[in-house]
Amino acid sequence: MAGTGYKTTGTAANVSGVGADWINPTNVQAQDANFSSCTISVGPDGNSDTLRCTNFDFSSLASTDTIIGFSVAIYGGMASAETGIKWNKATLWDGSATLGTDTSGEGVFFSSTRTLYTWGGPSNLWGAAAPSIATVQGSGWGVDLTIGSVSTGGVACEFDWVRMAVHTANTRNRRQIGARGRMR
């Protein structure tokens, strides 16, 4: 099995909706302790807007690679020792539509300290058919993230960085050993 290794998002944006805005969404583009944050102040059933992370550099993928899975890693957590924010949704985005199913473990609560959250894996396509290499290499490919509140509101969550890895069944570097034990 091969793949890209984790790549940091090249573009991050708040996608306006009915939820609370992500402040400084581009801060998730680097591991530098500058956080993107969202404060949900709309009550027990409040949600954030979508934090859309795209434009990962997957240029190392060959057109002959077969995509077999995706992993997403996010470093963040509560902005203080409070509790009450949960993952609401983590879905793949192909540049024009959501793909597959939510892989966030909806309802999983954030730690009151910053930690690493990971989803997917080497054989997890997030409930979608494998996209083309060209789609994944496009600037619109990425992941959509939303959070929700079960507290009375006014609780903030922060993300330092968002990364994605593409896992492939790569056969381009394999050699066969012949009957005489020689590489061919």
- Give the Cβ contact number of residue 10 at 10 Å: 14
Q: Which fold has domain 2-168?
A: Jelly Rolls (2.60.120)
Going from N- to C-terminal start, the domains of the chain cover 2-168
Q: What's residue 78's pLDDT?
A: 82
Take residue 70 and report the two structure tokens written for it: 């995706």
The 10s digit of each residue's pLDDT in 109-122 is 777 788 999 999 99
117: left (phi > 0), else alpha (psi -120 to 50), else beta? beta
pLDDT at 42 over 70: no
**Better-scored residue on pLDDT, 146 or 42:** 146
pLDDT at residue number 151: 66
Rounded percentage of the chain residues whose pLDDT exceeds 90:
61
**Cα–Cα dist 76/33, whole Å:** 10
- Contact of 88 with 47, CB cutoff 8 Å: yes
Contact 38, 5 (CB under 8 A): no
Q: What is the mean pLDDT of the chain?
A: 86
Amino acid at 2: A
Q: Is the pLDDT of residue 175 over 60?
A: no
Residue 88: predicted pLDDT: 84
- Tell me if 145 sits within 8 A of 17, measured CB to CB: no
To the nearest 10°, the Cα dihedral for 86, 91, 95, 100? -160
* Higher-scoring residue by pLDDT: 10, 108: 10
- Residue 168 β-bridge partners: 2, 67
Q: What is the mean pLDDT of residues 139-144?
A: 97
Place of tokens 């500058």: 34
- Rounded CA separation 71/136 (Å): 13
pLDDT of residue 43: 61
